[in-house]
Amino acid sequence: MIMRAAENKDDIELVRARWGLTPAWLTDLSKTPAHARAETVAEQPMFRDAFAHRRCLLPANGFYEWRGNLRKRPFWLTPGEGAALFFAAIWEAYPVQGHTYLSVAVVTQAAATQRRPLILDAQGQKDWLG
């Protein structure tokens, strides 16, 4: 599920989306990226139109970060009991046999040793959705 601006631009709607960004022009459906780098999302052909026109929020209760030098182990990062995180994301519509499917990719940022979702606070969410 993603949160995006409704057509009237004053409201937010919650809609289903498939994981892996699928622009309508994409012919090889094995190449549907789940992540878009924050530093290049505006320039990359796969992402730039969605970045300019179809931004959304991906609500989550946490995410995994892999830690360790010799043996990587997953650590679950969460804001706490009952709280939610909101990741910056972009969406696309992909038509298939008379039906339109929505797809999503989360925007990631560089972290200390790897990439992580771009987490937005309340003001960041408003700014991201425009």
CA 35, CA 21: separation in Å to the nearest integer?
Answer: 8
pLDDT at 27: 87
Range of 16's domain?
2-129
Question: Can you give the CATH number for the domain in which 71 is found?
Answer: 3.90.1680.10
Give the global pTM. 0.90
Mean predicted confidence (pLDDT) in 57-83: 89
Question: Are the CB atoms for 115 and 37 separated by under 8 Å?
Answer: yes
Q: Higher model confidence: residue 66 or residue 86? A: 86
With 80 as the cut, is the pLDDT of residue 113 above it? no
Question: What is the distance between the terminal CA atoms of the chain, rounded to a whole angstrom?
Answer: 19
Return d(Cα 49, Cα 55) in angstroms, integer.
Answer: 10
pLDDT-derived band at 112 (thresholds 50, 70, 90) equals low
Number of domains in the chain: 1
Contacts of 90 (CB under 8 A, 6+ apart): 21, 36, 41, 47, 50, 51, 54, 55, 56, 104, 105, 107
Taking only the tens place, the pLDDT of each residue in 32-63 is 999 999 999 999 999 999 999 999 999 999 99
- The tokens describing 24, both together, are 């309508």
